[in-house]
Amino acid sequence: MEIISGVHNLKPHHHGNVITMGNFDGVHHGHQMLLHHLGAKSRELGVPSTLVTFEPQPREFFAGSQVPPRLTRLREKVTLLRKTPLDRLLLLPFNERTSQTSATWITEELFHQRLGARYVVVGDDFRFGRRREGDYDMIKASGERYGYGVSHVGTLSFEDERVSSTRVREVLAAGDFALAERLLGHEYFIMGRVVYGRQLGRQLGVPTANIRLQRYKAALEGVYCVTVGGIGPTNYQGVANIGVRPTVDGKEPLLEVHVFDFEGNLYNQLLTVTFKRKLRDEQTFDSIAILKGQIEKDIQQAKSWFATS
């Protein structure tokens, strides 16, 4: 999959595509269904398939800290998209200028002139452009004017409910990782590089790999049984905390992972942390000693769960 950063990096050979557009947060089964439909059109017409998406997501720009939790950062989204038939990802920045872009510019300038649309596929509730003024009927009219086909993919349901990023967030918040996996088509994971922290875990005798979440909100909060990839040929088991660490006056959301049976240096390693089971919510403790005792209980509980699962 080729990644194109910005309209200014589109080249003549990028002209001629089947196109879809959207956030694709989580790249869940509904997204995958749309992308497979896009891939079928790509093969039928003999042109590449292209997803147009924005970073940050438009709602993050407008809602700021009030935005719903994000399922996937860009790195995670790209990792998941590489497993689909998608040929190209056009990544556009979303800022004050972009927020004023008209829906007509997208259908005529971007789709028709810059990308040479042969076909456009969107979800059934797709809206776009300034003040969300664009919809499926607008794309359909543009396609009739400029000669590209247009279709929409209906809603995918599971157990009589719509598969959506919102539903996945609710399921993750409830700690139902089995259902989340069925909705997503993959286990829920977070990727990131290990950074230097305050060394508190090491001082407590429980060294942790610290990963900055770098997102407005994480979809999870609390303590979890996890597996950790990226260290060697096999995954390690561990226990992880996601939160702001209130007992030690933490401010920045952080993913802290204690990897079982590992003593090496993980700084700057790119890890994939996969969530298996929730143990408890994040708590504030009256002292570091009580915190240490609870961490030891969390470790034993996680090891017991792995031993019996």
Class of domain 188-308 as given by CATH: mainly beta
Question: In terms of pLDDT, which residue wins out, 82 or 217?
Answer: 82
In this structure, the strands spanning 222-229 and 88-93 are unpaired
Mean pLDDT calculated for residue range 221-238 = 94
Phi, psi of 83 (to 5 degrees): -90, 0
- The DSSP call for residue 261 is T
Q: Which of these ranges, 125-134, 177-186, 193-202, 218-227, has the smallest mean pLDDT?
A: 193-202
Which pLDDT score is estimated for 204? 62
Q: Is the pLDDT of residue 143 over 80?
A: yes
- The DSSP call for residue 284 is -
Residues spanned by CATH 3.40.50.620 within the chain? 2-162
Global pTM value: 0.90
User: Tens digits of per-residue pLDDT, 293-303?
Assistant: 889 999 999 99
Task: Judge whether 298 and 239 are in contact, CB under 8 Å.
Answer: yes
User: Tens digits of per-residue pLDDT, 197-206?
Assistant: 666 656 666 8
User: Tens digits of per-residue pLDDT, 249-277?
Assistant: 556 788 999 999 998 889 999 999 999 99
User: Tens digits of per-residue pLDDT, 51-73?
Assistant: 999 988 888 777 766 778 889 99
Mean pLDDT calculated for residue range 138-145 = 96
Q: What is the mean pLDDT of the chain?
A: 90
Q: Is the pLDDT of residue 177 over 70?
A: yes
CATH for 2-162, options being 2.60.200.20, 3.40.50.2300, 3.40.50.620, 2.60.120.10:
3.40.50.620
Q: Which of these ranges, 26-30, 128-132, 240-244, 286-290, has the smallest mean pLDDT?
A: 286-290
* 228 to 13, 232, 306: CA distances (angstroms): 40, 10, 13
Residues spanned by CATH 2.40.30.30 within the chain? 188-308
E strands, the chain, in order: 2-5, 17-21, 49-55, 88-93, 117-123, 149-153, 157-158, 161-162, 189-193, 209-212, 222-229, 236-243, 254-259, 270-280
Task: Judge whether 35 and 121 are in contact, CB under 8 Å.
Answer: no
Using only C-alpha atoms, the chain has a radius of gyration, in whole angstroms, of 22
Which pLDDT score is estimated for 99? 84
Which pLDDT score is estimated for 82? 97
Which pLDDT score is estimated for 286? 74
